Structure 1
Amino acid sequence: MNKIFALTLLALLTLSACGQKGPLYLPQPSESAGYSHHQ
């Protein structure tokens, strides 16, 4: 459970970092493509 919790925390942190530049939730699994397209 610790591993899953850590992974979830990491994912949340990544989403938070991306959320500051764009939407909190990305329609595509590839945040790089969405981020590039947004700019």
Structure 2
Amino acid sequence: MKSTLALYIGISLFISGMLAGCGQPGPLYMPKPPAKPPAAAASASQPAIAPAPVPPPPALPATQQ
């Protein structure tokens, strides 16, 4: 008997939650992306030459015990 009461309460809460979400205001389309900044400002933030890669450290010889 308790399980059916819990089932009815759960179903009614689920349906109430689904109905509460209906009719929410808001745009029904994807918003336009923001305007791109001018080309001069975009190129100033990027370095002209990529930095040289750092060589890996030399491998140390394994010590024998």
- TM-score if structure 2 supplies the norm length? 0.32
Tell me the C-alpha RMSD between the 2 structures: 1.6
The reply to whether residue 16 of structure 1 matches residue 16 of structure 2 is yes
Structure 1: runs of 5 or more not aligned: 23-38
- TM-score if structure 1 supplies the norm length? 0.52
Structure 2: runs of 5 or more not aligned: 23-27, 29-65
Identical-residue share of aligned pairs (%):
22
Q: Which runs of 4+ in 1 moved over 2 A?
A: none
Decide which structure has the larger Cα Rg and report it.
Answer: 2
Looking at secondary structure, tell me which structure has more helix per residue. 1
Count of residues in Structure 1 that have an aligned counterpart in Structure 2: 23
